[in-house]
Structure 1
Amino acid sequence: DAPVELVMVLDTTGSMSGTKLTTLKTAATSLVDKLTVGGTANVKIGVVPFAQYVNVGIANRSQPWISVPDDYSTSTTTPGKCTTVSTKTTCQTETYACTKYTDGVAYASTCSRSINCVTTPITPVTTCTQDKINTNTYKFSGCVGSPAYPKNVSDSDSTRVYPGFMNLTCATPITPLTKTVSTVKAAITALTATGDTYIPSGLAWGFNMLSSAQPLTDAAVYDPSGQNRKPRKAMVLMTDGANSKLMNAGNGRHDVNPTPNLDSPATQANTYTAELCANIKAQKIEVFTVAFSVTDTNIKSILKTCATDDAHYFDATDTAKLLDAFQNIADALRNLYIAR
């Protein structure tokens, strides 16, 4: 008679692409299988993929807790013009080793540049273009930002409104709490890797999912005693990197790059992450955190503090340890679930 509500808040940033994302899908699916092996009558599971933003789904655009305009189009005309070319430039291409970045993580790559360029005269050639009509379409794909502080770190203000953004793509849509295992597994299978890291976005929607108040209302109310934990609410936060974006307080976007020696590391985002963790635990939500191949000591410390206790924190330094971490979390949830 002690139902379980579990939300998996999963990092799907660009640095998770390839083997890391494949392993995450296996680990998360295994957790679902183990937790539901005896049936799903008392088990609800939700999934919150996150990167720079969270996708709440297009179907929610008319909800009172989101602010987003209708899709629209604009047209502009580019006048035609004539251009005369009387020279030609030829260059050689040189390749060289360089460093590139994905989601703030450096990797070795190859870059190219033009060298030994020579410009020579040619017989003038004139080309003309016609007027061109340009149509720009603006659509909402489900991606939302954050309300202003402190509403962005709380679940207690029913008036908070999340800004929705046009022509922005982000993670796959969230899957609210459900007893349907096939729905949860389909959500895990659909995960894709893209974007930068803004952990508060994922945490906030995991919090929303476990709260019975708007914007999501599938969860049961918190146990008023805080002792019996009926229902037992749990969250799994998995990330493979540090916050690499800051929130723009003016519009709720998570598009501000940390400035070296000022916001680097992403102090504001780290502060919001820590506050969200504290507020989540204050509601007696059990928090498991998993640092997957994380090298940033600052965010690892934040994740360890975010967990309910040391036994709820996992430092998964490779794919094998990620699988083990999710198995251990499943065992912890399953054993106490059976005991109750």
Structure 2
Amino acid sequence: MVLRKASSPAFTPPCPSQTRPRSGPFIAHLARFRREDSGSVAIIFALMFVALGLFVGAAVDLGRWLQARHQTIAAMDAAVLAGGRVLQLDDKDVTGARATAYRYYSENIKGRTPLVEDTITFDAIEDNTAFAAMGNAYMPTTFLNLARISRLPLLNLSESHFSKVDLVSTGGSQGDSSIEISLMLDVTGSMSGSKITDLKLAAEDLVNIVISDSSRAKPVRVALVPFAEGVRLPQSALSVARGSPASSVTVGSGWNKATYYRAECVVERKGNEKYTDAAPGTNTYVMTMYNSSGRCGLPAADEIVPLTKDKTLLKSRINGLVLSNTTAGHIGTAWAWYVLSPNWNALWNTANKAAAHGEETEKIAILMTDGEYNLQYDTNGISTGSTGAGSAVNGSSTDQARALCTAIKAKGITVYTIGFALGRNSTAVNTLNHCATDPSKAYTPENGEELRETFRNIALKINQLYLTH
């Protein structure tokens, strides 16, 4: 028997339909595209890529443009505000304002996308009552250049002044309101030497900033209230404020007896209205000052100046201030209130009368002193400690000042305080802190330059610059 090896069945390859996945519509379309030999589809496809590339490139250019525009506008705004502040301090220093504006602009555009052209300039306009930026800046394009757009303007060409500030008070926190400011100034003996010189310069700065000669400015009036042992009123206002006091008073007895004579100054008010702004009259007059000489330590040069917009007069009276004696700060505080109160208008001429309290008038008191309040009066208007004098009719000068400040603020009057070179005098510091409307309005400059900066700071807060576009 012959054994034969069984043969394996012949291998049959699988049918393609059994191993390949179905190509689907996409593969079919791709195959037809490969076989297409007319060229039209390839051209369309290429054009689509060009359009898509331009779209993406335009987005890149516009992103760079938007960033450069924002940086340029912010730099212009900062420059215009800085230049405007220079002109607020001196409306004739246009050159200095321009230089300051360019310096701020240059500093704030560092890192900006390089430009093909920048024609932005800064200058005073409208008779130096406004400061503005003019011109334009252009950014070169990269991708948009393929569409024949070689540069993009960063600013709206229809706007002649993209950034601008008005240097005169035309609005502010109270809209179109007028402003009345009382400026209490310490002219006591401790202000001798460079301190009184510094005060005069600082007060002049404030007047220059807040009062504008422009007809576009909102009405701003300032009153001056110099004080020392009391305050001195214009002769025409004396009888209205104090009535008809006796020419002399005799107090005490025996070795403690003394006669005092009526002086031209007035001191505090006693009675139920001592801490109000009720109009003066019977039982509500302020007391007259009595002393052994019958003369007021404050000369005529230190008379109160009621509210006025006469910048020349105010600066002349500030420059003419003369130093006197001790510090009855509560009396200065009271009169810083009275000159702002319509209840006391009988003392003044029509042009000097205070407006009624309300939203249409912003009233501000600035209280400046260089020391602790330390002089008060008895019921006869004689300073305590004098021979035969009684005790203080209303308590200490410090306590009276604090009570008056509380009442002033309750009337809606904004109070700024300036304690000049107070050092470690905590009583004086605490009194002024109490009087200020809030901590941001209490200042303690220690030298002349800081004092000037303080007055400027307050003036700039009162006469704020607002950007207009």
- Fold match (TM-score > 0.5): yes
Map Cα deviations across residues 211-266 of structure 1 (whole Å, 9 max, x no partner).
0012645100111xxxx3x2000011000000121221x21334448xxxx99xx9
1:148 Cα deviation (Å)? 1.0
CA distance in 1, matches of 2:288, 2:435: 28
Pair 1:24 & 2:24 matched: no
Pair 1:317 & 2:439 matched: no
CA distance in 1, matches of 2:396, 2:467: 41
CA distance in 1, matches of 2:342, 2:382: 26
CA contact (8 A) 1:247 1:256 kept: no
**Change beyond 3 A, Cα 1:168–1:303:** same
Matched position secondary structure for 2:452: helix
- The amino acid that maps onto 1:57 is P
> Match for residue 289 of structure 1?
417
CA contact (8 A) 2:177 2:218 kept: no
Alignment equivalent of 2:355, drawn from 216, 220, 236: 220
Pair 1:202 & 2:377 matched: no
1:279 Cα deviation (Å)? 0.5
> Match for residue 106 of structure 1?
none
Higher fraction of helix: 2
> Match for residue 225 of structure 2?
48
1:150 Cα deviation (Å)? 4.1
> Match for residue 131 of structure 1?
none
CA contact (8 A) 2:185 2:226 kept: yes
1:67 Cα deviation (Å)? 3.1
Pair 1:164 & 2:341 matched: no
1:285 Cα deviation (Å)? 0.5
CA contact (8 A) 1:67 1:163 kept: no
TM-score by length of 1: 0.70
Matched position secondary structure for 1:293: coil
> Match for residue 242 of structure 1?
372
1:157 Cα deviation (Å)? 4.8
**Change beyond 3 A, Cα 1:333–1:64:** closer
CA distance in 1, matches of 2:303, 2:241: 19
CA contact (8 A) 2:229 2:328 kept: yes
**Change beyond 3 A, Cα 1:338–1:290:** farther
Task: Give the alignment of 1:1-340 within 5 angstroms.
Answer: 1-37=176-212, 39=214, 42-63=219-240, 65-69=242-246, 142-159=264-281, 160-165=284-289, 167-171=294-298, 172-214=302-344, 216=347, 218-223=353-358, 228=359, 230-248=360-378, 250-256=379-385, 268-295=396-423, 296-335=425-464
CA distance in 1, matches of 2:397, 2:212: 38
1:269 Cα deviation (Å)? 1.4
**Change beyond 3 A, Cα 1:205–1:66:** farther
1:305 Cα deviation (Å)? 1.7
Matched position secondary structure for 2:343: coil
- The amino acid that maps onto 1:298 is T
**Change beyond 3 A, Cα 1:234–1:157:** same
Matched position secondary structure for 1:192: coil
Matched position secondary structure for 1:152: coil
**Change beyond 3 A, Cα 1:139–1:59:** farther
CA contact (8 A) 1:7 1:234 kept: yes
**Change beyond 3 A, Cα 1:68–1:315:** same
CA distance in 2, matches of 1:189, 1:153: 31
**Change beyond 3 A, Cα 1:177–1:254:** farther
1:328 Cα deviation (Å)? 0.4
1:277 Cα deviation (Å)? 0.5
- The amino acid that maps onto 2:181 is L
CA contact (8 A) 1:245 1:256 kept: no
Greater relative CO, 1 or 2 (CA 8 Å, sep 6+): 1
1:308 Cα deviation (Å)? 0.8
Return 5+ residue gaps in structure 1 as ranges.
72-137
Matched position secondary structure for 1:236: strand
**Change beyond 3 A, Cα 1:273–1:165:** closer
Matched position secondary structure for 2:450: helix
CA distance in 2, matches of 1:275, 1:155: 12
Map Cα deviations across residues 47-75 of structure 1 (whole Å, 9 max, x no partner).
0000111001223233264333579xxxx
- Percent identity (aligned): 29
CA distance in 2, matches of 1:66, 1:312: 36
- The amino acid that maps onto 2:366 is V
Matched position secondary structure for 1:187: helix
CA distance in 2, matches of 1:234, 1:156: 19
Matched position secondary structure for 1:232: strand
Relative to structure 2, which stretch is displaced further, 303-312 or 178-187? 178-187
CA distance in 2, matches of 1:13, 1:210: 23
CA contact (8 A) 2:211 2:221 kept: no
Aligned residue pair count: 261
TM-score by length of 2: 0.52
CA distance in 1, matches of 2:421, 2:237: 34
CA contact (8 A) 1:144 1:163 kept: yes
**Change beyond 3 A, Cα 1:323–1:150:** farther
